[in-house]
Amino acid sequence: MSSKVIVITGASAGIGAALARRLGAAGHAIVLAARREKELGEAARAAGERAAAVPCDVTKRSDVERLKARALETFGKVDVWVNNAGRGVTRSVLDLTDDDLDEMMSVNVKSALYGIQAIVPHFMERGEGHLLNVSSFLGRVPVAAVRSAYSAAKAALNSLTTNLRMDLARTYPNIHVTLVMPGIVLSDFAKNALHGTPGFTPPTAGPMAGQSVDACADAIASVIEHPAPELYTNPAQAELARSFYANPGAFQPPFAKP
């Protein structure tokens, strides 16, 4: 893959930091964005000499516009934009508050919308580009009831992503839009979820086995090199999703507790 300029949000840790390392090692120029300046700086240094750190709160449209501007000032263009920032919540549907739902929509949906609306006009001017929205397998299949509002927000992101793809496909065939759906990733995501997370050990095998951040990053790097509309970072989950949609009433989660 030829060298690209790639913006990654939520890049101070987890999937975002691993993806920055992976792409930086491959020779790409990386712009990392996140709120935590110290951790972001460390992630940028780990991503190599062509990595720039931009402290940014992606729930603020002005910050996302500033991120785009900094990327263009630093590297002159953006080839790939990865909306990766996100946060979970631990509450069942009946226990959700207004604040819970607002937080999930702000961090998981509006932040991505701001990224879309910031960068896609740049792609349209150039006639090419690649947008990736990092969603979740939970936006497709109900296997974790305590992640209800998070799953709902990711389902909304899924819909925005597919509608954007439809809008662009005919007029801008060289602008790619990819929906990325990780499953359980072995990161600090659960620890940082709103209201904490009950103790749970991911399975070691099967479609819901825990996946390392590096394996997840490798899968995303592959779809950047070979664009596709959708990516399950754990391929076994594609079959699980098909089984759910084939017969939702008969579907049973692959483990007893989320």
* pLDDT digit string, tens, across residues 12-25: 999 999 999 999 99
pTM of the model: 0.94
Give φ, ψ of 238 to 5 degrees: -60, -40
Active site residues: 150
15: in domain = yes
Domains: count for the chain: 1
pLDDT given at position 256: 43
Which element (helix H / strand E) includes 139? none
pLDDT given at position 1: 67
256: in domain = no
Half-sphere exposure of 249 (CA within 13 A, CB side): 0
64: in domain = yes
* pLDDT digit string, tens, across residues 192-236: 888 888 777 777 777 788 899 999 999 999 999 999 999 999 988
255: in domain = no
142: in domain = yes
Structure confidence at residue 255 as a pLDDT band (50, 70, 90): low
Between 54 and 188, the more confident residue is: 54
Strand 175-181 versus strand 129-134 pairing type: parallel
User: Would you call 152 exposed, middle or buried from its count of C-beta atoms within 10 A (0-12, 13-18, 19+)?
Assistant: buried
pLDDT given at position 204: 76
Rounded to whole angstroms, what are the CA distances from 188 to 13, 53, 191, 229? 8, 21, 5, 27
Residue 120 has pLDDT above 60, yes or no: yes
> Which domain CATH number covers 244?
3.40.50.720
258: in domain = no
pLDDT above 90: percentage of residues in the chain? 80
Q: Using CA atoms, how far apart are residues 155 and 168, in angstroms rounded to an integer?
A: 20
Which residues constitute the domain of residue 194?
5-250
